Amino acid sequence: MTPTYDQTVREFRDYLQQIGYGKSSVSMLPDCVKAFLESQGHIPIDEMRSADIVRFYRWLRQRPHKRKEGALSEQYINHHLYALRIFFGWLETTGRIGENPISTMKFKSPVPNRREPFTQGEIKALFQACQAIEETALLHLFYSCGLRRAEAVKLNTRDIHFRQQVLYVREGKGAKRRAVPMTARVSRELENYYLEARGAAKKAKDTEAFMLNGTGTRMSGDSYNRRLKEIAARTEIKREISLHYLRHSIATHLLESGLPVEQVRDFLGHSHLEATQIYAKVHQNQIRKL
């Protein structure tokens, strides 16, 4: 990227930070803009036109995903377009360009990623397909305790109180802490893993992490996901599966069982009821009643 482009991206990042964008947006939006600018060669920014954005948009739709098979998601492409709208709007407001090339452009709205929760029958099938104590423990962390991927990766042995039947998330999303209640069965089976599998591991190298991989070190998010797919492969479940689907499913099942949405929100560690509504498909009327 040219020095001029690089300087502009840094100033754009500073602008986002100054007006109060969140940490993830301050990181993501400039990176999206940087990808666009790098695709333009050495064209001065004030000479960029709508046709340049159209070419970039078409390139994104053809570009393969770098970390997995297939093309980029509609949501990922939309992030780039959103970043360009903010970027060129900022340039126009500050007088750096005389014409905003994206201001009148319209693009196809991204199709929402509809995640259908697993049925309770499918969850039962996953548990029945487990062939090792650590596999059962994995399902309990993501389904029974509703942990996020990063939360499970950071989980330490001191965070689980088996007798009190409580799991502590020390640093959840947004640096939030929460206590997750466990049933007697969940507590017992997590303790079984701790005593029988983890405790008996002769090559355990990480003394703090709760879940360990084959090398005795902390289980990574990719390792969790791979083990889950191995479990699912032994079932009749043919649709897409991920760690987050388990969290989404427990939220839905708790609401279906009649647990108040406020308690589900606290269980998941959401800051707002609207977030719980998105994950668990709570009807808008349920939110209004609160």
Specify the CATH number for the domain of residue 262: 1.10.443.10
Note whether 164 and 171 are within 8 A (CB): no
161 is catalytic: no
User: What is the full DSSP assignment across 58-127?
Assistant: HHHHHSBPSSSSSB--HHHHHHHHHHHHHHHHHHHHTTS-SS-TTTT---PPPPP---PPPPHHHHHHHH
In this prediction, residues 188-215 reach a mean pLDDT of: 80
Active-site pick, 85, 170, 244, 281: 244
Active-site pick, 140, 247, 248, 265: 247
Interatomic CA distance for residues 280 and 274, integer angstroms:
10
Regarding whether 124 and 39 lie in a shared domain, the answer is: no
Active-site pick, 148, 149, 198, 218: 148
270 is catalytic: yes
158 is catalytic: no
Is 104 within the bounds of a domain?
no
- Global pTM reads 0.60
Interatomic CA distance for residues 216 and 134, integer angstroms:
13
In this prediction, residues 92-117 reach a mean pLDDT of: 81
185 is catalytic: no
Active-site pick, 173, 178, 234, 281: 173
149 is catalytic: no
For residue 46, the enclosing domain spans: 3-93
pLDDT of the residue at 286: 40
CA 168 and chain centroid, separation: 20
Interhelix angle for 243-256 vs 261-268, to 10°? 160
Top pLDDT among 240 and 131 is at 131
Number of domains in the chain: 2
10 is catalytic: no
**CATH number of the domain that 86 lies in?**
1.10.150.130
166 φ/ψ angles, rounded to the nearest 5 degrees: -135, 135
Task: Give the pLDDT band (50/70/90) at residue 51.
Answer: very high
CA dihedral 178, 243, 30, 93 (to 10 degrees): -70
Interatomic CA distance for residues 180 and 144, integer angstroms:
10
Lowest mean pLDDT among 59-63, 147-151, 157-161, 219-223: 59-63
Q: What residue type is 27 in one-letter code?
A: S
DSSP 220: P
Is 111 within the bounds of a domain?
no
